[in-house]
Amino acid sequence: MTSDATPAAISSLSTEQIDARYRDLDSWPVSEMIAAMFEGQSAAVAAVGGAIPAISAAVEAAVPGLQQGGRIIYVGAGTSGRIAVQDGTELTPTFDWPRERLVFLLAGGSAALTQSVEGAEDRGFEGARAIDDAKVTSNDVVIGVAASGTTPYTIGAIRAANTVGALTIAVANNPGSPLLEEGRYPILVETGAEVIAGSTRMKAGTAQKVVLNLLSTALMIRMGRVYRGLMVHLRVRNAKLEQRGKAIVAEIAGCSDEEAARYLEKAGGDVKSAVLMGFGLSVDEVADVLQRHQGNLRAVLNEIGRRDE
């Protein structure tokens, strides 16, 4: 079952409806069926445009708690849960978001990442218990994702997170769904009927992926982990990241690749620190100024008079 809707709610969900246009899909030439599916995917991406104000509001509200040490907590079941995990796992290698400040609550546990755990999504009390076990606080940002918006596990988690004052964000593809009503910051992307009825791994899943990409990336930018479109909060951990880190340092500090490599080594692989060393700051000065500006490189460069024109 690719839908995360509960049986009782299926008949009323737009994502579960049969689109008469595709009733004979299985008899079409391969090129036509693929073109139809591609059209659906494109429409799903376009549908996200209407949710930009809601996504923006969620980002602005989430930043203060994260600046106080809050965690980003993803909650979901089935396809939605896997998409959430995919988004979150990229935050550490891309933005050096601390692993200890990233939590995944997936119906059925980690086993559900690679196989269906039927029935796990139907137990709302387990979602609530997962929030309790994770010791969620008011600084945490809890993101619940469900195409149907009716998944008990995810709803239970969001309700429990609300009770402890966490900032809750709900992402769903059906209007008026319980999940959207529970989330303090609801994000609706109405993708409608799927090309294959109920297969929310397709249009709905694509829209969820886009929403989460926008949401998490905007959070990282607002947290000062991006400067001039560059991953300045990157920490060098492998050969590819070393090359990227050198390029970033050289670009911002205006130094050679060889100098950038030396600064990176001295900074322990921390790109922001290496950039500031490239501008002549000592190790102690770098640590002090980054702490005062909560790691925001633009603010630091403004202070030291090296703002990019």
Catalytic residues: 90, 121
Give bridge partners of residue 143 from the DSSP assignment: 74, 169
Residues 6+ apart with CB under 8 A from 294: 67, 224
Q: Quick one: which H or E segment has residue 289?
A: helix 283-292
Distance, CA of 138 to CA of 157 (rounded, Å): 14
CB 20: neighbour CB atoms within 10 A?
Answer: 8
Q: Quick one: which H or E segment has residue 7?
A: none
Residues 6+ apart with CB under 8 A from 262: none
In the block, tokens 């460069």 appear at 301
Pick from 122, 113, 119: nearest CA to 85: 113
